[in-house]
């Protein structure tokens, strides 16, 4: 049973590290700030929760089950997912409004398009 849990820990950590490394690679490839921020969202909303889950299971293996660790880990995972989506949207909007150059291939560009007027729709 311990070997199975060690394999689970390894898989969770590898998936998380892979997501973070993929996002880091994309940061160097993307041409504009908006695309870079969106790729960083992958690391924080996918990579870090997997790393946290792997660390939680690994700690359970070494120290035994603890409700405190479980609740703290679940709270951290939930915070990573919720906060990263809001932070990514806020950072993209701030980058756009600051006048950062945008790749012309960015489509759709909802920030540049005027908001539809619901009275005329």
Q: Which pLDDT does position 27 carry in this prediction?
A: 85
pTM: 0.79
Q: Which pLDDT does position 120 carry in this prediction?
A: 52
Q: Which pLDDT does position 19 carry in this prediction?
A: 92
- Three-state DSSP class for residue 100: coil
Tokens of 82: 């919720």
Q: Which pLDDT does position 8 carry in this prediction?
A: 94
Q: Which pLDDT does position 118 carry in this prediction?
A: 52
pLDDT, tens digit only, all 121 positions of the chain: 889 999 999 999 999 999 999 988 988 888 888 888 888 888 888 899 999 999 999 999 999 999 999 999 999 999 999 998 888 888 888 888 888 888 777 777 676 666 666 555 4
Proportion of the chain in helix, strand, coil states, percent, rounded to 5: 75, 0, 25
């Amino acid at each position: 049973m311990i070997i199975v849990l060690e394999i689970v820990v390894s898989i969770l950590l590898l998936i998380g590290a892979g997501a973070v490394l993929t996002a880091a690679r994309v940061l160097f490839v993307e041409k504009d700030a908006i695309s870079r921020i969106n790729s960083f969202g992958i690391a924080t909303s996918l990579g870090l929760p997997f790393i946290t889950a792997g660390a939680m299971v690994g700690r359970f293996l070494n120290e035994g089950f603890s409700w405190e660790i479980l609740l703290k880990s679940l709270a951290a995972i939930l915070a990573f997912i919720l906060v990263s989506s809001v932070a990514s949207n806020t950072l993209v909007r701030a980058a756009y409004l600051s006048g950062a150059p945008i790749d012309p291939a960015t489509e759709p560009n909802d920030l540049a398009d005027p908001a539809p007027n619901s009275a005329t729709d």
